[in-house]
Amino acid sequence: MPQYVQDRLNFYDAILFLQGLGNTVLLCVAGLGLGLVIALFVGLARASSLRWLSWPAATYIEIVRDSPLLMQLYLVFFALPLLGFQVPILVAGIVTLMINSSAFMAEIVRGGIESVGRPQWEAARSLGMGYLQAMRWIVLPQAFRVMIPPGVGLLIGLIKDSSVISVISYMELTRVGQILTEKTFLSFQVFGIVAGLYFLLCYPLSRMALYAERRLGVSG
């Protein structure tokens, strides 16, 4: 075995794990946060009865949902520089997760809006509300309750899918695991810790989603 290879993990490796954990959280929070902004507009367009709005939104959703996340990452990181746009590694990761999450979240938004019954729309109109007023004050607050469980499920999936960003050498959890495995040859121990850290991120979120579902009275 080469002399540079460690036979155990040390304090500095623990710091590297924490760095990877923080970078994973940064990727997912920024990606989903920006994706939510896009998803709101795309979801509203998708739920619209106007075809010139719903068709482009549906096309965007299907293209993103039906293509691999890895291919989307390659397009952002490798194709954009060919067009003259230099994309830093962190920005490429965030943009990729933003695009991917926005398509899935847009369908969640559409489903939440469509779950609100027609009587609610009619009641809003009887009060003299326009479309935007009814959407803001009547529809979206009710749709939000329906959107919480699948939205949190999307975040959990995004946390796990963020491991794909390791292929462009961004120092998230999976990349840290790869580096420490090459340094120590302790594959089982290293990736056991990586799996445990992913679990620590995802399990509280799943419990929070269940609590919110019960608290807000969202049926299964």
pLDDT in tens, 79-90: 888 888 888 999
Handedness of CA 184, 186, 187, 193 (dihedral sign): negative
Label residue 84 left, alpha or beta by phi (over 0 means left) and psi (-120 to 50 means alpha).
left
What is the domain-level CATH number for residue 65? 1.10.3720.10
pLDDT of residue 218: 52
Nearest CA among 4, 35, 8 for reference residue 158? 35
Residue 1 pLDDT exceeds 70 = no
pLDDT digits (tens, 9 = 90+) for 70-81: 999 999 999 888
pLDDT of residue 131: 74
pLDDT band at residue 220, thresholds of 50, 70 and 90?
A: very low
100, 64 contact by CB (below 8 A): yes
Is 133 contained in some domain? yes
Three-state SS at 90: helix
What average pLDDT does range 149-166 have in this prediction? 92
pLDDT band at residue 143, thresholds of 50, 70 and 90?
A: confident
Is 29 contained in some domain? yes
Mean pLDDT of the chain: 88
Is 50 contained in some domain? yes
Q: In the chain, what's the furthest Cα-to-Cα distance?
A: 79
pLDDT band at residue 35, thresholds of 50, 70 and 90?
A: very high
Q: Which helix (H) or strand (E) holds 120?
A: helix 118-126
Q: How many domains does the chain have?
A: 1
Give me Rg for the CA atoms of the chain. Answer: 21
pLDDT of residue 6: 61
Q: Domain residues for 65? A: 25-170
**pTM as predicted:** 0.87
Is 160 contained in some domain? yes
